[in-house]
Structure 1
Amino acid sequence: MNLMTKFRLSLMMFLEFFVWGSWYVTMGTFLGNNLKSADQEISLAFSTQSFGAIIAPFIVGLIADRYFHAQRILGAIHLVGAGLMYLLYQSGDFSGFFPILLAYMILFMPTLALVNSISFNQMKDPAKEFSVVRVWGTIGWIASGLLISTLGWDSIGGLADGMLKNTWLMASLVSLALGIYSFTLPATPPRAQAKGGFKLSEALGLDALSLLKHKNFAIFFLSSILICIPLAFYYQNASPFLTEIGVENSTGKMTIGQVSEVLFMLALPVFFSRFGIKKTLLVAMLAWAVRYLFFAYGDADSGVWMLLVGIALHGVCYDFFFVSGQIYTDAHAGQRFKSSAQGLITLATYGVGMLIGFWAAGQISDYFLNPSGNHDWTSIWLIPAGISVLVLLFFISFFKDERIKPDTNPN
């Protein structure tokens, strides 16, 4: 892959995740502050990600893989997305906001697979080349958070003036730019095998269900769904939590999680090869429990270090579980189920697991809402910490350690 192609793909990744990070981190704060939404409404808004993840295989498997070039679909989606983001910028209440957001996420979630497909199509050795391109997506997410805090949209004064709504306008403009830019990206035609007979089970990844006959993989699969329940608490509640307790420029501080994601991504191959899959996954689950304990007992004054450490643990939580889990899934799937197995695990985690988690986070947050309008955050964060410990105990009890053989997973 030549330098210019690498630059073009890296810019695509940067813009893709800049758009997502522009609004996703602060949406909970925006809904509570600007639209005066209840906790259950905020959880419903975040659950649109899960609905999108469940529907995404239909769009990618039934349309992108069979009929159109991936870069053209990516461009069309982001152009439509720019219009939907602008409508969200103009929304004045949750009833008008939610259906637009749902339509947007059903369109957006497939783009995460499309940018990967476009990238892989230009690479001779994805195992070595992809991480260099993908890391610019994380940098794009970081850049959007730092820009929001630099402009003061998430500060006390900015919140009072309702400036957080500008995140939707920013996302709209960048989505428009990405939509236009996508049509200039290298051609990624439909897969050759898509011209043959169509099987719905293959498009949805359901043929990979046969992997669940392996006890170890079945335990991993169930643990992946369960651990996404506490994960949803972080995505949904972290920004409102930090804002409510008085942490200034919280969006910028939350980018520490993405910085750590980059660092631990580099450390993962060494840890994985030395300690194996079981210990790697256990470290991730333990990190989840520790993170929520730090959130439960930290504060915006002398205990702010606990909050920052909890945010920084995101790299361990995400990389050591999800990325190593993708490697483990790939090793069990083999050539036959390589794509469908990844689709199935994504549907189960971002779809089913986080859908349950967003619902639970909304119910629990509302239960611990004080008459004064503030939350009992200590009690709220102790619940996902406890869930993480239970999943950890379940996994350590039933999952048998195994080594990933190089000939099973050549990457």
Structure 2
Amino acid sequence: MSIGVRAQLCVMMFLEFFIWGGWFVTLGTFLGNNIQASDGEIALAFSTQSWGAIIAPFIIGLIADRYFNAERILGVLHLLGGVLLYLMYGTESFSVFYPYVLGYMILYMPTLALVNSVSFNQMNNPAKEFSVIRVFGTLGWIIAGLLISYLFKWDSDVGISNGLLKNTFLMTAIASLVLGVFSFTLPKTPPRATSSEKLNLQEILGLDALKLFKDKNFLVFFISSVLICIPLAFYYQNANPFLVEIGMQNPTGKMTLGQISEILFMLLLPYFFTKFGFKKTIMVAMLAWVVRYILFAYGNVGELSFMLLLGIALHGICYDFFFVSGQIYTDSKAGEKFKSSAQGLITLATYGVGMLIGFWIAGNISNSYLLSDGTHVWDIIWLYPAGFAFIVLILFLLLFKKEKIDYKS
């Protein structure tokens, strides 16, 4: 791969995640303060990510993989997405906002697979080359959060009271339009299948991989993956509103500690996975979810603020040790025949079904502990995902039999 192509892919990945991190992190805070949305409505808005993940395989499998170059459809989706982000910027009621965010996530979620396709198509050894490109996506998410908190101060008390958080949609609309145009300059990534090939919906949805459920360990892992997405949804939906409500300064910027730790623990994962094995790695991730939410429940912005920051920083273990390890495990169990189908099935089950359920539960629990003055009983709210993650941990410990999986970096 030439230096020029590598630079293009890095810019693409940076913008891809700058866009997502630039509005999604503060979405709950924006809706609650600027549009006066209820906890249930906020849950509906976040669940659009899940609907996008469920619909994404159809867009990729039925359109991108058969008729158009990946970089072209990536460009079209981001151009259309930029328009929808701009419409969200000018919206003042949830009833108008919801169709826009739903439409946007249906367009955006397929782009996560498309940027990977464009990248992999240019690589001779994706296992070694992709991580360098992908880290620019994490940097994009970090930069977006730092800009919001430390440069523009949109999430400060003054910024929120003056409705400045809506500017996150304007910022990301511009970035989306830039990426949309830029995508047409990316290296050509032609369709993998011809339009004359027989359409296989089972393969598109990953249903071919259901045969792997005959393996009890894989079935236990699959169910655990769906269930652990319930506490994950609590973090995505509630973390930023929680930090804002309790008075943390620069909450969005400080939440980038989670992405910084992602980079660190991604580097540590090969060592940990090789030394301790898959089961212990997954269990450490589940335990980190429990610890994180206990820290949130009992921390504060005073003397115990370190507990909140530590809870945020645990994101690297929570995410990398579970989901990246899970991808490696799924890859090893599926083999060449069902590799794509198995990864598609896991993605559909976690980001689709699992988090859809999680957002619904998080919204209902948050609403149950909403006080008359508009604040929440956060210490009790956070104990719910902590307890749920602990139950999943115990079930995995008891039901998953230890097996050796080779780490392929």
Q: Normalization by structure 1: what TM-score?
A: 0.98
The residue aligned with 1:56 is 56
The residue aligned with 2:205 is 204
Check if 1:138 corresponds to 2:123.
no
The residue aligned with 2:188 is 187
SS of corresponding position for 2:212: helix
The residue aligned with 1:167 is 168
The residue aligned with 2:156 is 155
Alpha carbons 2:149, 2:156 under 8 Å: kept = yes
SS of corresponding position for 1:336: helix
**Could you report, residue by residue, the CA deviation over 1:239-287 in whole angstroms, capped at 9, with x for unpaired residues?**
0000000001100000000000000000001100111100000000000
Q: What's the CA shift for 1:371?
A: 1.2
Amino acid in structure 2 at the alignment position of 1:76: V
The residue aligned with 1:126 is 126
The residue aligned with 2:243 is 242
The residue aligned with 1:359 is 360
Say if 1:192 and 1:94 are closer, same or farther in 2 by CA, change over 3 A: closer
Distance in 2 between the 1:405 and 1:262 partners? 21
Distance in 2 between the 1:250 and 1:380 partners? 19
Q: What's the CA shift for 1:388?
A: 0.4
Distance in 1 between the 2:204 and 2:357 partners? 24
Amino acid in structure 1 at the alignment position of 2:105: M
The residue aligned with 2:72 is 72
Alpha carbons 2:67, 2:194 under 8 Å: kept = no
Distance in 2 between the 1:101 and 1:192 partners? 31
Distance in 1 between the 2:360 and 2:28 partners? 14
Paired residues for 1:274-289 under 5 Å: 274-289=275-290
Check if 1:3 corresponds to 2:7.
no
The residue aligned with 1:18 is 18
Paired residues for 1:220-369 under 5 Å: 220-369=221-370
Amino acid in structure 2 at the alignment position of 1:23: W
Amino acid in structure 1 at the alignment position of 2:161: A
Say if 1:208 and 1:245 are closer, same or farther in 2 by CA, change over 3 A: same
SS of corresponding position for 2:198: coil
Q: What's the CA shift for 1:181?
A: 0.1
Amino acid in structure 2 at the alignment position of 1:262: I
Say if 1:31 and 1:399 are closer, same or farther in 2 by CA, change over 3 A: same
Distance in 2 between the 1:273 and 1:65 partners? 35
Q: What's the CA shift for 1:213?
A: 0.8
SS of corresponding position for 2:190: coil
Distance in 2 between the 1:129 and 1:325 partners? 20
Q: What's the CA shift for 1:196?
A: 2.0
Distance in 2 between the 1:187 and 1:323 partners? 28
SS of corresponding position for 1:9: helix
The residue aligned with 2:385 is 384
Q: What's the CA shift for 1:184?
A: 0.2
Check if 1:99 corresponds to 2:99.
yes
The residue aligned with 1:85 is 85
Distance in 1 between the 2:286 and 2:299 partners? 20
Amino acid in structure 2 at the alignment position of 1:100: Y
Alpha carbons 2:88, 2:97 under 8 Å: kept = yes
Distance in 1 between the 2:258 and 2:344 partners? 25
Q: What's the CA shift for 1:193?
A: 6.2
Distance in 1 between the 2:195 and 2:241 partners? 44
Amino acid in structure 1 at the alignment position of 2:381: I
Count how many residue pairs are aligned between Structure 1 and Structure 2: 408
Distance in 2 between the 1:128 and 1:378 partners? 43
Distance in 1 between the 2:329 and 2:364 partners? 33
Q: What's the CA shift for 1:155?
A: 0.3
Work out the percentage of aligned pairs sharing the same amino acid.
Answer: 65
Moved over 6 A (4+): none
Q: What's the CA shift for 1:9?
A: 0.3
Structure 1 vs Structure 2 CA RMSD: 0.9
Distance in 2 between the 1:245 and 1:219 partners? 38
**Could you report, residue by residue, the CA deviation over 1:120-154 in whole angstroms, capped at 9, with x for unpaired residues?**
00000000000000000000000000000021100
Amino acid in structure 1 at the alignment position of 2:235: Y
Amino acid in structure 1 at the alignment position of 2:149: S
Distance in 2 between the 1:211 and 1:57 partners? 20
The residue aligned with 1:396 is 397
Q: Normalization by structure 2: what TM-score?
A: 0.99
SS of corresponding position for 1:248: coil
Alpha carbons 2:274, 2:406 under 8 Å: kept = no
Distance in 2 between the 1:360 and 1:159 partners? 26
